[in-house]
Amino acid sequence: MLCAPAMSNLRLTRVLPVVATSLAAPCRAFCRFGSSTPPTPPTRPRQEEASRFDTHWQTPQQADEWLEQMLATGIEPSARSYNLVIKMWARGGHVREVEGWLQKMKERHVALNVYVYTNAAQAYIISGDVAGTMQVLGRMQSEGIEPNAVTQTVLLNVWAKLGEIARARAMLDELEASGAEISAACYTTVMHYYARNNDEENARAIWQQLQAKGLQPDGQAFATLISMYAKAGNLQAAEQLYQEMLDRGVGLNAAVCSSMIMLYGKGGNTLKASEMFKRMQDAGMVPHGKQMADWVEELACEEAGVWFPEDVVE
């Protein structure tokens, strides 16, 4: 689902200074994670036997215990193992814990890579700290690490969080013009912010742009437009997209189901609302937004916040 690592370091160099200008002093503090001196080789051979440990975590605390157990048994974790744990904390925007593991990696002379930095940047995005995001990306740039596909999505989120949706759109268009391979994730990120601002024209334009590239919209893309139509009370458009989603074999998600329940409830169609609600229950889904009362009171799909791309790990 992720964009191919086609954005060059030069492109990141061109984008970062412009964002940093709007953030002023906080974005000049790229040294938060220490100097860019290359790490010295480890004092003992690194080996990793992750298969000996359970990696089916339910919480980031369990991920911490897994890595601590590895260290306690004398196995030196690789950057990938650290990244697995960092990703768990990043999903919740737990910046302090992410920083702690970044520091641990440096102390143990484990080189930080693009996956680690990008997950760290996402933690800041989720926490709402745009300046912190730029600090992480600046650190990555200063170490000469090439950005990957998810880094592009993070930058698109930065522009949107700053209210610079036009810049995010321009960046997306520039990526297209450069011939870079772009996945649905990048388009959905921009479309998401248009939809949140009830800009149906531009949201639909991005939707069409995505498909014109031969890409298949995923559940998040469908949810973005369907929730937009739900807020506007456009049942016909929402039902058309919902049916298209089923026809394409795209799995339903809580955001889509909640939006359809809200529309049916507002329209007084309690039968369809009940059927959709039962479908959610059967699938073990949790409705988006506030607790349901009289079906759909304030089911706020927009409260989901910044979209968080999956599968950052190598």
Q: What is the 3-state secondary structure (H, E, C) of 162-175?
A: CCCHHHHHHHHHHH
**CATH class in words for 9-177:** mainly alpha
Say yes or no to pLDDT of 163 above 70.
yes
- So what's the pLDDT on residue 283? 84
State what percent of residues in the chain have pLDDT above 90. Answer: 38
pLDDT digits (tens, 9 = 90+) for 10-33: 455 555 554 544 444 444 333 333
Q: For residues 63 and 309, which has the higher predicted lDDT (pLDDT)?
A: 63
Helix (H) or strand (E) holding 214: none
- So what's the pLDDT on residue 183? 74
Q: For residues 175 and 41, which has the higher predicted lDDT (pLDDT)?
A: 175
Q: Could you give phi then psi for residue 286, rounded to 5 degrees? A: -105, 125
Q: Which alpha helices (H) appear in 213-301, and where do they start and end?
A: 219-232, 235-247, 254-266, 270-282
Q: At a CB cut-off of 8 Å and minimum separation 6, what does 156 contact?
A: 168, 171, 172, 186, 189, 190
- So what's the pLDDT on residue 202? 95
**Look-up: residue for tokens 């910044």?**
306
> In three state form, how does the secondary structure of 24-61 look?
CHHHHCHHHHCCCCCCCCCCCCCCCCHHHCCCCCCCHH
Q: For residues 287 and 206, which has the higher predicted lDDT (pLDDT)?
A: 206
pTM over 0.95: no
pLDDT digits (tens, 9 = 90+) for 257-297: 988 988 888 888 888 888 888 888 888 887 665 544 444 44
- So what's the pLDDT on residue 288? 61
